[in-house]
């Protein structure tokens, strides 16, 4: 009976519960909250700028980045919910629920990005290049890459798939930011490669879709498994 209860207890906790002292876990939890709030503020501002670029300069990559930035805002908000309860810092059930929600958001976002990119490719929509587009691209690439590194580091320490997923989304945002610059500069020097912008949008959309599917396949069964632990609690 004792072995059964002990195994049930461990199944409801993340690996970090056996490696971190209580005060260390709470310290990293607070850092995760601060990074998530910072991410929400930064990516929301970048989303507004990217949507502006997309409308003014007809950029599929800018539209894709703006959608990914909105996704980053939502995923960071989910991480905020995940770590809002100090007592649930090691809760596997809460972790897996957050990951399932992230997976659904990834699928919806990827569909929107791919549909928009394919539409732009089919209508041969040509991007325009100016200093505003260049500035947004550089700023987005740098800030999102920094956020990705911070989230990956915290996710590794807390053994949090939700934080790592949020970091992956920020990394995609960084890649998309630099891709806006790349496709715009290539088009500026060679107008025959007009399709690069839309092609990058399709590729990134499919990448997000694949990650979302993988996340749901991995996490849905685990939510069911850890539900028994939550009921026992």
The CATH architecture annotation of domain 19-222 reads Up-down Bundle (1.20)
Helices (H) and strands (E) in the chain, counts: 7, 0
DSSP 53-76: HHHHH--HHHHHHHHHHHHHHHHH
Q: What is the pLDDT of residue 213?
A: 95
Q: What is the pLDDT of residue 62?
A: 67
The residues of the chain scoring below 70 in pLDDT are 1-12, 57-62, 64-65, 127-130, 133, 227-233
What length is written for the chain?
A: 233
- Nearest of 69, 78, 83, 81 to residue 41 by alpha carbon: 69
Q: What is the pLDDT of residue 141?
A: 86
The pair of structure tokens assigned to 99 is 């990951």
Vertex 219 angle, CA 16 and 42, to 5°: 70
């Amino acid at each position: 009976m004792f072995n059964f209860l002990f195994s049930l207890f461990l199944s409801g906790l993340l690996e970090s519960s056996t490696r971190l002292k209580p005060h260390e876990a709470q310290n990293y939890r607070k850092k995760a909250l601060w990074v998530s709030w910072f991410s929400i503020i930064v990516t929301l501002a970048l989303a507004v700028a990217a949507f502006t670029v997309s409308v003014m300069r007809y950029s599929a990559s800018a539209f894709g980045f703006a959608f990914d930035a909105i996704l980053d805002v939502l995923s960071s908000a989910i991480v905020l919910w995940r770590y809002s309860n100090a007592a649930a810092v090691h809760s596997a059930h809460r972790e897996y629920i957050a990951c399932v929600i992230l997976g659904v958001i990834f699928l919806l976002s990827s569909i929107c990005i791919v549909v928009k990119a394919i539409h732009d490719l089919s209508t041969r929509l040509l991007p325009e290049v100016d200093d505003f587009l260049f500035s947004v691209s550089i700023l987005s690439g740098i800030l999102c890459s920094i956020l990705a590194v911070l989230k990956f580091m915290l996710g590794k320490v807390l053994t949090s798939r939700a934080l790592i997923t949020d970091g992956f989304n920020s990394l995609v945002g960084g890649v998309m930011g630099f891709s806006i610059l790349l496709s715009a500069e290539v088009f500026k020097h060679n107008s025959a490669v007009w399709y690069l912008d839309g092609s990058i949008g399709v590729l990134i959309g499919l990448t997000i879709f694949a990650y979302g599917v993988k996340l749901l396949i991995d996490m849905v069964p685990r939510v069911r498994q850890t539900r028994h632990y939550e009921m026992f609690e």
